[in-house]
Chain A
Amino acid sequence: MIQLKVNGVAHSFEGDPEMPLLWYLRDILGLTGTKFGCGIALCGACTVHKNGEALRSCITPMSSLAGAEIRTIEDIAANGLHPVQKMWMQLNVPQCGYCQSGQIMQAIALLKDKPKPTDKDIDEGMAANICRCGTYQRIRAAIKAASEESV
């Protein structure tokens, strides 16, 4: 049995320990905000936070998560919109929006590490998250705006 916390709530999991966190979140807990994009950590659509760090849930087996604190996109706005979400809305970042849960989770983690990210920081921090609609220009602008907001 694997015990972990998701969005502050304690859960125990008794299924296949090789099941990636992504499918536990989506199919078992019904937290569908975290998306399936590639299944092999190439696109970042499945990004969640583990103990505050960005994590690709699609390749993270449940067996590695005993005692972990997982946070998903659903919890980010639990007490009002996060500054990153506010800027995402203000700058109309999303098109189809499917990748944006992952983009937002990645951006929040990036800003935690680099509160004033340069273009290079953003390139490095966000390059593992694909947006097929091509909203990168607005993602970059929203990250910069959020970094100024949180001064």
Chain B
Amino acid sequence: MSPITNVSRRGFLKGLVGAGALVLGAYYLPKALRHHGFPPGGTDADRATLHPNAFVGIDTDGTVYIVAHRSEMGTVIRTTLPMVVADELDADWKRIKIDQAIGDPRYGDQNTDGSHSVRSFFDVMRRAGATARSMLILAAAQEWGVPPAECQTDMHTVAHPSTGRRLSYGELASAASKLPVPSSGIRLKTPDQWRYIGKGMTSYDLTGLCTGRAIYGEDVRVDVMVYASIEHPPVLGGKVKSVDDGEALKVAGVHQTVPIDPFKPPPAFQPLGGIAVIADNTWAAFQGRKKLKIEWDNGPNATYDSEQYKKELQTTARKPGKVVRNEGDAESVLSKGGSVFEADYYVPLLAHASMEPMVATAEFKDGKLTAWAPTQNPQAAQAIIAQELGIAKENVICHVTLLGGGFGRKSKPDYVAEAAVLSKKVGRPVKVVWTREDDIKFDYFNAVAAMNMKAAVDPRGKPTAWLQRSVFPPITSTFDINAVYGDPGHLQQGWTDVPYDIPNLRVENGPAPAHVRIGWLRSVANIYHAFAVQTFTDELAHRAGRDPLEYLLELIGQPRTLNFSGVDYPNYGADLRTYPWETGRLRQVTEIVAEKSDWGKRKFGKGSGIGIAAHRSFLTYVAAAVEVEVSDQGDIKIPRVDYAVDAGLVANPEVTRAQFEGAAVFGTSVARSGEITAKNGVIEQSNFDTYPVARINEAPYQTNVYLVDSDAPPAGVGEPGVPPFIPALCNAIFVATGKRIRELPLSRTSLGKNS
């Protein structure tokens, strides 16, 4: 569902600002807005007296129920989208109750991934609220016998200003519920009438989050449930050859062990297989599991060695690959020689390591499955559970708890399917609890990637030809055993859309088979693509003796709209007319961040440095300036980060700033120590000792976020802060130490003075 279609960005704005209230036709309404029934697993909004659509309900006591259909993992989306509904409803936020939706296609897409919740549902939420408001106005007008046009709403009431009469939403709910739900002619507020949008709202769950009362997947408790801990095959695709559970069953509290079938390739969201230990409590399940004696058939991935694989990727990256964008004739310019510069970059596999490890609870009863899970993707959980249990999707109810972090991992509901399979086998509700070690070893990793960059430059150092080649095992390999090339959805992420004004530009991608499950992780392929492009740019600037900022701006060039004819460029699923790729906006954020960071005005070198990088991802333009201090021993401190962000209309600014603060920390973790390796097919990392993430003393001390006051439609904010941060940090390290980082993580490079 893409509510904003076929409207140019400026046109979108004109509709809102120029022509007063936007009137929308019925054809825009998604199914959920026309829903009338009381479905099983329905929400309080469904049960409320006035319930014009699936997202909103109003009771006679004035309580307004708003459904959050996207998952809450810290982006505050569970608050922001209901806030948009409340604004168009002109409702008092204090009288709002938020219902978390179960997985149900009537809400449209629920996969809370890809930084598109506000982008895709901003208009839907506005219409959901405005529909209810128009019905309340009509009910009041009929009660008073006046034309609806003479009535207006004011904070949970409808007023007739000329007579001073007022009726509250609660008083009107019953009468309004008898009116037909309007399918057209719904008037939306003009932006100057917004109460909450653009001003923002703190998390609806804030008190619970600060008092231990918020309920995450880990906290679900169901009557008579048992706990399960699963010994997964250590190598992807491995199978149990034999198992001796004698000692495990002797552990106090352990009930039984249960085998789970290995997946049939490709893995997708199927359980990995293995042996589950079922017990009275989590600890007993963990203890019992340690006593299992399992012999594994590790299968073909047992030869996977990440060091060897790295060499293979780097070799492939230096060879011609599949051409995914080509302008001019970069190859012939480069082959003429002259001033040609070439560099290789490398980013390893990365794990998500959300603070809450994978966990899910499920109850199979009377042919139906109910799950409670911290999932970013409840409809996918329904689908895989239905497939695993051989029941209809409609017989799977998936409740969504709060998520203790997600970062893309919890879009893949393999762990929810495990709980479902086990509940059916055990005949009781089962809670599957992954350990941190399970979480890190059995992740869907962000792809390892090798990039080869080549440029021919003119006497001023400006590229006349640019060739970039990347190789990474694609995410599609998780769903298709034959997939080895990057798909357009991930090649678009900072690769096919390299925005530089260079006449001869060639973009290629080479093949790489996967030996582990590859998946989305916060900003995904943008991480390695931005690292290569933005570091290489900085290298070229320094080689030419030019200021990196001025050089970067020259490469971005004058404001223009990128033309993707001949390129398979999905633009994050958005129409290029609504969300064109405008280099002027990238330029603008770069200039802003330079100004805010006092670029060029402060002295660096000899252990301190500043670096800059700019990148568009998830339709948002971001520039980062990162300051670093490197001690003689090579320890890094990041005193300050400045971000300039053009994310279009920002519905919840404070929350957006927090997302960028967090992105800088996430980027710090990737840069400092993010690395998953494998030997004999087994992941070598297991917990925060071997897969460290940034701590308070390692994280940036101060991150400043400048949001551009933009009139463009809303774009992503959860992920776009990560990609430019990492090259900006590495570019700063070059200034501080003279050491060029072409390979992550930094722990692989000695940054000390005498090394």
Contacts and interface: CB of A to CB of B under 8 A. Distances in A.
Interface of A: 15-16, 18-20, 23, 26-28, 30-40, 42-43, 45, 72-74, 76-77, 81, 85, 88-89, 92-101, 104, 119, 122-124, 126-140
Contacts of B311: none
Given A130-B355, A130-B693, A92 B654 contact: yes
A108 B409 CA distance: 32
B211 A35 contact: no
Contacts of A32: 212, 215, 218-219, 221
Given A32-B215, A32-B218, A16 B284 contact: yes
A98 B211 contact: no
Pairs of residues from A and B, 7 with the lowest C-beta to C-beta distance, nearest first: A33-B212, A134-B665, A98-B404, A95-B74, A97-B209, A96-B74, A73-B212
A40 B227 CA distance: 20
A139 B355 CA distance: 16
A16 B406 CA distance: 33
A97 B75 CA distance: 11
Q: Could you tell me the dominant secondary structure of chain B's interface residues?
A: loop
B682 to A, nearest CB: 19
B735 interface: no
Contact of A43 (B208, B212, B355, B663): B355
A96 B76 CA distance: 8
B281 A23 contact: yes
Contact of A99 (B213, B355, B694): B355
Contacts of A45: 355
Interface residues of B, number: 70
B409 to A, nearest CB: 11
B216 interface: yes
Given A134-B664, A135-B661, A27 B687 contact: no
A36 B218 contact: yes
26 contacts: A16-B287, A23-B282, A26-B282, A27-B281, A27-B282, A32-B219, A38-B436, A39-B435, A39-B436, A73-B211, A85-B211, A94-B210, A96-B73, A96-B74, A96-B402, A97-B404, A98-B355, A98-B356, A122-B696, A123-B696, A131-B665, A131-B696, A132-B669, A133-B355, A135-B658, A137-B700
B636 to A, nearest CB: 14
A20 B422 CA distance: 25
B688 A35 contact: no
Contacts of B403: 96
Interface string B392-404: 0000000000111
A84 to B, nearest CB: 9
B212 A34 contact: yes
B354 interface: yes
Given A85-B211, A95-B658, A98-B354, 19 more contacts: A32-B219, A35-B356, A36-B218, A40-B689, A42-B687, A43-B436, A74-B211, A81-B210, A89-B207, A92-B203, A92-B658, A96-B356, A97-B402, A98-B404, A98-B405, A99-B355, A135-B662, A137-B702, A140-B696
B564 interface: no
Nearest to B659: A95
Contact of B211 (A77, A99, A133, A140): A77
A67 B621 CA distance: 58
Given A42-B687, A43-B688, A95-B74, A15 B355 contact: no
Contacts of A134: 661-666, 668, 694, 699
Interface string B697-711: 101111100000000
Contacts of A92: 202-203, 206, 654-655, 658
Contacts of A20: 283
Contacts of B353: 132
B74 A133 contact: yes
Contacts of B286: 39
Contact of A38 (B227, B654, B663, B688): B688
Contacts of B211: 33, 73-74, 76-77, 81, 85
Nearest to A19: B283
Interface string B188-232: 000000000000001101111111111110110100000100000
A124 B702 CA distance: 18
Given A32-B218, A45-B355, A133 B282 contact: no
B253 interface: yes
A7 to B, nearest CB: 11
Contacts of A88: 210
Nearest to B657: A92
A23 B83 CA distance: 37
A148 B252 CA distance: 50
B357 interface: yes
B80 to A, nearest CB: 13
B214 to A, nearest CB: 6
A34 B702 CA distance: 29
Contacts of A93: 210
A137 B404 contact: no
Contacts of B404: 35, 96-99
A42 B355 contact: no
Given A95-B75, A96-B403, A74 B209 contact: no
Interface string B275-312: 00000011110110000000000000000000000000
B695 interface: yes
A76 to B, nearest CB: 7
Nearest to B407: A132
